[in-house]
Structure 1
Amino acid sequence: MGIEEYGGGQTPQSDVLVVTTNDVPGYTVQQVIGEVFGLTVRSRHLGSQIGAGLKSMIGGELKGLTKTLVETRNQAMERLVAQAKARGANAVLMMRFDVTEAADVGTEVCAYGTAVILART
């Protein structure tokens, strides 16, 4: 796997800025729209489960599961941005991820934050 498969985040062309901070230097919050989130649930692939089980015996990174989690987080983030944009926001502040097991059949990933309208100061 190349380095591009291990990461995520936004492209420079994104319409909605997403940050993990309370504010953005050089900008002021004109309007708080409210909480937004993007949610996805992914089941585990049988092949990756078997591979992960074998790998756990000898140690090391579970690359198949890492790739799946990156894809899942990116999908949750895309849904977060789509919801913020649909509500008229141009930014999401305090973005976080929440990851939980979903009924022993998959992993739920939720990206959430506060949708706002920012203006340059």
Structure 2
Amino acid sequence: MGNIDEYGGGQGPSADVLVVTTNEVAGCRVDQVLGEVFGLTVRSRHLGAQVGAGLKSLIGGELRGLTKTLVQSRNEAMERLQEQARARGANAVLAMRFDVTEGAEAGTEICAYGTAAVISRLS
């Protein structure tokens, strides 16, 4: 199967900026909302991957090379999102989402966005 990081992502347990897809974090309160933050990356596919994907689409199955590229792109967008949140003084990003836009000539744009916040544990 390969390394789990090749086909997945997400935060490790020691992240200094918690990123969640929910509006709240269980056991925490939102002390301050700092506003929207996002991380963006644009990737183009190289010719070899496009040819391989075209051939694979004829017979069916997963496009593993493109899957790895998308995972890398999402992780890069997440890292940039966390950098933006950290720069604003946040320790969390709430309601995180991904937006993916396919550009005909420019490549694929992946944007991770959410609301930067300062949270603390409930006493």
Structure 1 and Structure 2 fold alike (TM over 0.5): yes
What are the ranges of 5 or more consecutive residues in structure 2 without an aligned counterpart?
A: none
The equivalent of 2:17 in structure 1 is 16
Matches of residues 1-121 of structure 1 in structure 2 within 5 Å? Answer: 1-121=2-122
% identical aligned pairs: 74
| Structure 1 alignment gaps of length 5 or more | none
SS at match of 2:95: strand
Query: By how many angstroms is 1:103 displaced?
Result: 4.3
Alignment partners' CA distance in 2, 1:104 and 1:71: 20
TM-score (norm 2): 0.95
CA apart distance, 1:3? 2.6
CA contact (8 A) 1:40 1:110 kept: yes
Aligned length: 121
- Mapped contact 1:20–1:96 kept (Cα < 8 A): yes
**TM-score (structure 1 length as normaliser):** 0.97
Q: Cα RMSD between the aligned structures?
A: 0.9
1:13 Cα shift?
1.4
**Residues 78-113 of structure 1 deviation map (CA, whole Å, 9 limit, x = unaligned):** 000000000000000000000001343300000000
Runs in 1 of length 4+ with deviation above 4 angstroms? Answer: none
Q: Give secondary structure in 2 for the equivalent of 1:15.
A: coil
